[in-house]
Amino acid sequence: MTQQLTVLSSPEADAGGGVPQVISSLPVSLHPTDGAGSDLVAVAGTPGWTEKALESIEAGARGVMVIRPSAADVTALRDRAEASGVPVVLDTEWAHNPAVAAAAPRFAAVNDENSLLEARVNAPVGVDVDQVLLAQLALIRAAVDPVVSLSHARRNRHGYDALAHLASGARASLSAILSDALPSSATLRIIKPRDAVTLAVPASETAAPGRVTVSGPDGATLLPTQWESAHRAAWRRLHALAEAGEACEDLSSFAADVAIVTGGRPEAAGGRG
């Protein structure tokens, strides 16, 4: 039987992650509260989010959701969360879309040292470029493989182009376009001599489905679509982890991606959290 957990969310988290809408869509699992002692706490990923997440754990929260986290040193938060068995789920822009999990085994079949991953994202003008790159790295990690090295060919207020290597030895080209003329979205593609896999993911606030297309000698197949937003999927995951009393690896993965983005410069990661 599903246990209903209470959720405390700040106005900033509500605005960034559509928390009230998600809660209303999961009435059996989640219930809003504005008081102390809530089971789950939503924190906006603006600078200082690691301290707020730590405070929530110290206050007894069974789980923490961080909405669109900015670069930060998560060492203290990770250690405390692991010691207490409290899951801290990072709700990045695309990684929790259900299509990502569906695409992962398909990408695994074509991901090797001879592969080239093409990754592109569209994001609004004015967003933090590091935050966009972190969200793209989280998507690549979830769908294909972790990025282990990265170098920029271009980076400015309009976006970036970068070359990277994955843990498998595959090469990757990453790009981002910051424009209000295009909706927020992400695309991943690996093309081999006989096979290809493409993943297209919309913005996290929409329930429009991600699309996974697998191509081969017999033609192209669109995998079954799942009509659920990335935000909602992230909350279902946090609820399941908190109900089971299990921590998760989001903070460790995030720390590795922050090191890639910042080149290991602590000051670029927002200092110690």
CATH number at residue 212: 3.30.360.10
- In this structure, the answer to whether residues 189 and 217 fall within a common structural domain is yes
Q: What pLDDT sits at residue 182? A: 87
* pLDDT, average across residues 71-97: 96
| 256 occurs within a structural domain | no
| 105 occurs within a structural domain | yes
pTM for the full model?
0.93
- In this structure, the answer to whether residues 198 and 109 fall within a common structural domain is yes
| 163 occurs within a structural domain | yes
- In this structure, the answer to whether residues 62 and 143 fall within a common structural domain is no
Q: What pLDDT sits at residue 179? A: 94
The answer to whether residue 268 scores a pLDDT higher than 90 is no
Count of structural domains, the chain: 2
Name the helix (H) or strand (E) containing 155: strand 147-156
Q: What pLDDT sits at residue 1? A: 62
Q: Give the relative orientation of helices 250-262 and 129-143 as an angle to the nearest 10 degrees.
A: 130
**pLDDT band at 205; cut points 50, 70, 90:** confident
Q: What pLDDT sits at residue 192? A: 93
Q: What pLDDT sits at residue 267? A: 41
- In this structure, the answer to whether residues 76 and 137 fall within a common structural domain is no
State the CATH number of the domain containing residue 41. Answer: 3.40.50
Gap between the Cα atoms of 42 and 30, Å rounded: 12
- In this structure, the answer to whether residues 112 and 169 fall within a common structural domain is yes
- In this structure, the answer to whether residues 217 and 120 fall within a common structural domain is yes
**pLDDT band at 167; cut points 50, 70, 90:** very high
Q: What pLDDT sits at residue 264? A: 41
Question: Please, are residues 30 and 39 in contact by the beta-carbon 8 Å criterion?
Answer: no
| 50 occurs within a structural domain | yes
- In this structure, the answer to whether residues 153 and 108 fall within a common structural domain is yes
- In this structure, the answer to whether residues 111 and 181 fall within a common structural domain is yes
- Biggest CA pair distance of the chain: 58
* pLDDT, average across residues 87-91: 98
SS3 of the chain: helix, strand, coil, percent, to 5: 35, 30, 35
- In this structure, the answer to whether residues 124 and 84 fall within a common structural domain is no
Q: Write down the mean pLDDT value for the chain.
A: 93
| 255 occurs within a structural domain | no
| 128 occurs within a structural domain | yes
The answer to whether residue 262 scores a pLDDT higher than 70 is yes
| 159 occurs within a structural domain | yes
- In this structure, the answer to whether residues 108 and 213 fall within a common structural domain is yes
The answer to whether residue 10 scores a pLDDT higher than 60 is yes
- In this structure, the answer to whether residues 121 and 222 fall within a common structural domain is yes
Q: Which of 104-113, 169-178, 238-247, 261-270 has the lowest mean pLDDT?
A: 261-270
| 257 occurs within a structural domain | no
The answer to whether residue 183 scores a pLDDT higher than 60 is yes
Structural domain of residue 40, as residue ranges?
A: 5-93+230-250
Using one digit for the tens of pLDDT, what is the confidence trace for 12-67?
Answer: 999 999 999 999 999 999 999 987 789 999 999 999 999 999 999 999 999 999 99
Give me 151's structure tokens: 């170098």
- In this structure, the answer to whether residues 87 and 18 fall within a common structural domain is yes
